């Protein structure tokens, strides 16, 4: 079982913040600036051999990537390129049993080119952590490039990492720590941003929303404003060529006992050649019944996938539509508690 199967969210957040504030990272940031290597294994060794603690080693890896890797394209809107979602989904689908070789391959390419998209950043970070003996995960989800603007297309568009330090998972985003895009010329400006290193989960949630809610590291993940316009589209939304869905609003108001009907239309003629996912029961990790799954009741010849869900408890807050064992859409449930008490 992976470390952190049961998370003590409040204490973990307080510990992470205190731990970060007691370490002077400036000497580490300076020392890694001139280190060079095209080999992930060799680079990890050069970056970490001088440090004793995992947090120092993690900072060395994080700082080096942020200082040496540039974002590789100039999207029309920062961090909203749909190709990121489709390419990430394809990577996860095709290589689920060969994750380590994939990370090595991606990392070697990033080190050669010195440019990457967000999944290149996050996989290089994981690869170097793996070589350093530090547990790390790649997290896919939605990243809001401008936290003051509501997105028109609420879907998987970003990747970041969770790293296991001193008996707790902590969050990093080395992509956003490396720089930013200018609004006038859309030019990437390299600028090291320390706020995305071991960021407290409550702060991280302001502009990051994971496909798998357990990686929010919060007992009750917040509802992004984007849910008012549409449900959250997981990375497998692209995988099945979904062209329409109903309801179109992301927040559903209901009472216990209500039946909610959903319809999804796909342009695929068959999914026989598409491998399905392997859903994790994230409710165990959150220690809460808040997340519920809904599977299809029928898929007809018109490529319509129909769902029906009966609200069972006032504690249900997140409803995820599942197709072929993949999460494709996530809705927020707002339960009428007055009705539930009658």
Considering the domain architecture, whether residues 185 and 213 belong to the same structural domain is answered as yes
Domain count along the chain: 2
258 is a domain residue: yes
Residue 232 covered by a domain? no
* Interval 125-184: pLDDT, tens: 999 999 999 999 999 999 987 655 566 678 999 999 999 998 999 999 999 999 887 766
183, 217: one domain: yes
Q: What is the side-by-side strand order in the sheet with 242-246?
A: 242-246, 259-266, 304-310, 298-299
What pLDDT sits at residue 190? 87
User: Which DSSP string corresponds to 151-194?
Assistant: -SS-B--EEEEEEEETTEEEEE-HHHHSEEE-TTT--EEE---G
Query: Taking each helix axis from N to C terminus, what angle separates 40-48 and 54-68, rounded to the nearest 10 degrees?
Result: 120
pLDDT for the residue 172 = 98
H/E run at residue 237: helix 236-239
On whether residue 177 sits in a domain, the answer given is yes
**pLDDT value at position 337?**
72
33 located within any domain: yes
Residue 126 Cα distances to 26, 80, 200, angstroms: 22, 22, 20
149 and 214 part of one domain: yes
Does residue 155 sit within a domain? Answer: yes
Question: Are residues 209 and 255 part of one domain?
Answer: no
208 in the same domain as 286? no
**196 and 53 assigned to the same domain:** yes
- Predicted model pTM: 0.79
211 near 141, Cβ under 8 Å? yes
Note down pLDDT in tens along the chain; length 342 residues: 334 333 333 344 444 555 666 789 999 999 999 999 999 999 999 999 999 999 999 999 999 999 999 988 544 333 334 444 444 544 455 544 444 578 899 999 999 999 999 999 999 999 999 999 999 999 999 998 765 556 667 899 999 999 999 899 999 999 999 988 776 666 788 889 899 999 999 999 999 999 999 999 998 888 888 888 899 999 889 888 899 999 999 999 999 999 999 999 988 766 655 666 655 544 344 445 688 999 998 766 678 899 999 999 999 999 999 998 899 999 999 998 765 544
Residue 52, SS3?
coil
Residue 281 maps to which CATH number?
A: 2.60.40
Instruction: Please say whether the beta carbons of 139 and 161 come within 8 A.
Output: yes
Residue 194 domain-assigned?
Answer: yes
Please indicate, yes or no, if residue 2 is contained in any of the structural domains.
no
Give me 233's structure tokens. Answer: 């589209």
User: Do residue 134 and residue 280 come from a single domain?
Assistant: no
Sign of CA dihedral 214, 215, 220, 225: negative
Q: What are the φ/ψ torsions at residue 2 (nearest 5 degrees)?
A: -70, 150
In a domain, 141, yes or no: yes
Return the ∠ at Cα 326 (arms to 119 and 241), rounded to 5°: 80
Count Cα atoms within 13 angstroms, Cβ side, for 327: 26
Q: Are residues 206 and 244 in the same domain?
A: no
Alpha helices in 251-336 (DSSP H): 282-286
Residues 6 or more apart whose CB falls under 8 angstroms from that of 216 comprise 201, 204, 205, 209, 210
Q: Are residues 127 and 179 in the same domain?
A: yes
Please indicate, yes or no, whether residues 196 and 332 belong to a single structural domain of this protein.
Answer: no
Residue 211 and residue 323 in one domain: no
- Pick the closest to residue 223 from 256, 251, 255 (CA basis): 251
Domain that holds residue 139: 9-221
CATH number for position 88 = 3.10.620
d(C-alpha 125, C-alpha 142), whole Å: 19
Q: Is 51 helix (H, G, I), strand (E, B) or coil?
A: coil
- Give the residue from 146, 34, 136, 12 showing the smallest Cα distance to 79: 146
Residue 98 has a pLDDT of 47
Nearest to 78 by CA among 231, 184, 162: 184
**Same domain assignment for residues 185 and 118:** yes
């Amino acid at each position: 079982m992976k470390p952190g199967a049961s998370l003590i969210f409040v204490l973990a957040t307080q510990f992470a913040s205190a731990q970060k504030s007691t370490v002077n990272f400036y000497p580490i940031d300076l020392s890694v600036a001139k280190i060079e290597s095209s080999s992930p294994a060799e680079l990890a060794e050069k970056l970490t051999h001088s440090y004793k603690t995992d947090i120092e080693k993690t900072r060395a890896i994080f700082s080096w990537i942020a200082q040496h890797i540039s974002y590789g394209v100039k999207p029309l809107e920062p961090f909203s390129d749909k190709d990121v979602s489709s390419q990430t989904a394809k990577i996860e689908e095709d290589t689920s049993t060969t994750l380590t070789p994939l990370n090595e391959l991606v990392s070697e390419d990033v080190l050669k080119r010195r440019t990457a998209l967000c999944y290149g950043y996050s996989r290089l970070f994981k690869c170097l952590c793996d070589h350093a003996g530090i547990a790390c995960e790649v997290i896919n989800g939605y990243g809001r490039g401008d936290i003051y603007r509501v997105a028109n297309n609420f879907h998987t568009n970003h990747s970041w990492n969770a790293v296991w330090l001193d008996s707790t998972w902590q969050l990093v985003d080395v992509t956003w720590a490396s720089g930013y895009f200018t609004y006038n010329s859309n030019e990437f400006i390299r600028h090291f941003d320390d706020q995305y290193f071991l960021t407290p989960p409550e702060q991280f949630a302001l502009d990051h929303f994971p496909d798998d809610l357990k990686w929010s590291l919060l007992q009750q993940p917040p509802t992004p404003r984007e849910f008012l316009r549409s449900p959250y589209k997981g990375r497998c939304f692209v995988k099945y060529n979904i062209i329409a869905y109903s309801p179109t609003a992301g927040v559903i108001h209901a009472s216990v006992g209500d039946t909610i009907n959903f319809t999804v239309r796909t342009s695929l003629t068959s999914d026989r050649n598409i491998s399905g996912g392997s859903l994790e029961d994230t409710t165990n990790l959150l220690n809460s019944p808040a997340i519920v799954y809904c599977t299809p009741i029928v898929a007809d010849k018109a490529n319509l996938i129909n769902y029906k869900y009966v609200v069972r408890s006032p504690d249900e807050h997140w409803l995820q539509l599942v197709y072929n064992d993949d999460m494709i859409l996530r809705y927020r449930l707002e339960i009428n508690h007055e009705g539930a008490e009658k």
